[in-house]
Amino acid sequence: MTDFSYRGGKLFAEDVPITEISSFIGTPFYCYSASILEDNYRRFASAFQGLNAEICYAVKANSNQAVISLFAGMGAGADVVSEGELRRSVAAGISGEKIVFSGVGKSATELAVALEYGCGQFNVESESELNLLSEVASDMGKTATIVFRVNPDVDADTHHKISTGRAGDKFGIQFERVAEAYDRARILDGIDPRGLAVHIGSQLTRLDPFRGAFEKIAGLVRELRAKGHVIERLDLGGGLGIVYRDEILPNLSDYADIVRNVFGQMGLKITFEPGRRLTGEAGILVTEVLHMKESGGRRFAIVDAAMNDLIRPTLYDAWHEIEPVVEPENGGPVSPLDIVGPVCETGDVFAVQRQMPETRVGDLFVLRSAGAYGAVMSSTYNSRQLVPEVMVKGDLYTVIRPRSDFDTLIGMDIVPDWIATE
C-alpha cells in the first residue's frame, strides 16, 4: 500500500509532485499522506468489529495536531504520556473522557491537569504513582478511573530500546505485585480501579509474544475477579510493526483472532493504542544532496537533512528505504554510497554503502516510512531549524508545521545582565 509512487518519472505524494512541494517550501521537510492515514485507521478498526473496542491513537508516534485531528474525526481517542500530549490532543478535538494517560513518570502537576480535563483513564505504572494520584485526586475532590499496567515479563523480540514488557524494563508493575496493588487501590480515596493494561514493546513482527502476554493477563483477570475485584477494562496497548525494509508482517486479522480467542468471552471493554501502525508508512522525509565527496575509497552524499531531523538511524541503527525523487533508469547502474547529514557527529548517517543510482548535487532523496518517530523526535541540535511538515490529500497540500525561524530559536535564550558584553 502506497500513495507515494512514480508518475512520468517523478515521485508523487498522492496527486502532488514532490518537486512542487520542495520548490514551495524548500528542503528538508516531512510529507504525510492523509489517504494512507485514513486507510490505516479503517483497516485497524475493521479488524476488531464485533468486539467492545476503542482505538486511542498513541500520540507519541506523531503529535502533529493535524494528524491527531484526522484520527479524532474518524472516532479515535488518544493515548498520551505527558501534559503536552494531553493538551495537544484536546486542542485537536479529542474530549477528555476519550484520553488514556499512560507513562511511567507522571508528575503531580500533570495528574492534576489530566483530572481537570476529565481524563477517562489513567494507566498506573507503580505503587508510588498510585499513592500520588490518590493524593492529587482527593485534594481536588475528584475520582480517577485507573487500570494497572502489568509487566508480564515477556520478551517482545524487538530492538532492546523499544522493548517494554521484560522484568528488567522500567515499565509497569511486576506481575506478582498487581494483586496487592489492586487490594490497596480499593481503599484509597479518589481512586476507582477498573482493569489492567499491558504493552510489551514496539515494532513487533511476530504474534507469539502478544499471545504469551495476553494469556498471562487473562489468567490475572480471572484471579483478580475471583478475589472480588472489578475488572471491566483491558488496555492492550499497541506495538504492531510496519515495513521498513523487508519485514514480513502478520495480518491484522490474525492479531484480532488472538484477541478474540483469549478475551472474547470475558466481557471486557478493550482499548488499543496503535501509533506507528497508523502513521509510519504514511510519511516520508525529503532531503536534497548538498555535496558529493570521496574519502578513504568511499563515496559520500551529504544531504541537508540530519540526525536531529530523523534520529532513528542513529538511535536504533534503523533502516529507511531511500529513493531518488526523479525515477532512476530501470536497470541502470548502481554503486555503493554513504548518505550522511551535515551535523558535526560521525553518527549523523542515514545509510552506509547503500546501492544507489548515479547521484549529483541538487538531487532529491526521500526516506520512506518516516511518519512515526520522525518529526516528533526532532531537535534543534547544532542550532538547526525544526523542519516543516506537510499533509497531502489528493491534489491539495498544506503546511501543517512551518519551518522554525532563527529569531525564535535564538530568542529562546536569556543572557544574564551580569555577563559583561562589549
Q: Please list the active-site residues.
A: 344
SS3 398: strand
- Strand-pairing partners, residue 282, are none
Strands (E), 251-340: 269-272, 283-295, 298-303, 322-324, 334-340
Structure-block grid coordinates of residue 59: 500520540
Q: Which amino acid is at 32?
A: Y
Instruction: Write the CA distances from 201 to 21, 101, 119, 229, 236, integer angstroms.
Output: 35, 17, 24, 27, 11
Distance CA 150, CA 171 (A): 8
- The DSSP annotation for 171-198 comes to SSEEGGGHHHHHHHHTTSTTEEEEEEE-
Orientation angle between helical segments 208-226 and 178-185, nearest 10 degrees:
50
- Strand-pairing partners, residue 292, are 301
